[in-house]
Structure 1
Amino acid sequence: MAKTKTHTGVVVRSTGKYQVKLSMTPTTWAVSSHEYYYRETGIRGGGMGGRARLLLDSIKQISKG
């Protein structure tokens, strides 16, 4: 079962900037089960880290209603 996305943020990749939906874990912001970013730095984790970054100041909570 997929986690509920509670926030949005901007990810910068080599192909441009993208608005993504995020869920929060104790140490990361998760986009999917294969794409996550560290909460302290915004650096992409995992083997395919590359140069992608999450702009931490762009994170906003999704309003309900």
Structure 2
Amino acid sequence: MAAAIDAKSGRVTSLPFTVFDWPIDVTEPLSYRADSCLLGVHGSRNESTERGTYYYAFDGKTFRLRTSANEPKP
């Protein structure tokens, strides 16, 4: 389980999915930058058999999927 925490207000927003089964060459399944609202997710979401890279925009309240790219199954 992961979440975004607003440093000023303390508001916590959980990701609406779990992440597992990321590629072996990926050390962290979630990637982000402090100066961006974009979140990169690498792996499978919610125990799905589809593995890929997903990009979500966070507007301060919700995560919205912007784009994705599925990976071939190993």
Instruction: Please report the TM-score for the alignment, with normalisation by the length of structure 2.
Output: 0.27
Structure with larger RCO (C-alpha < 8 A, sep 6+): 1
Structure holding more strand per residue: 1
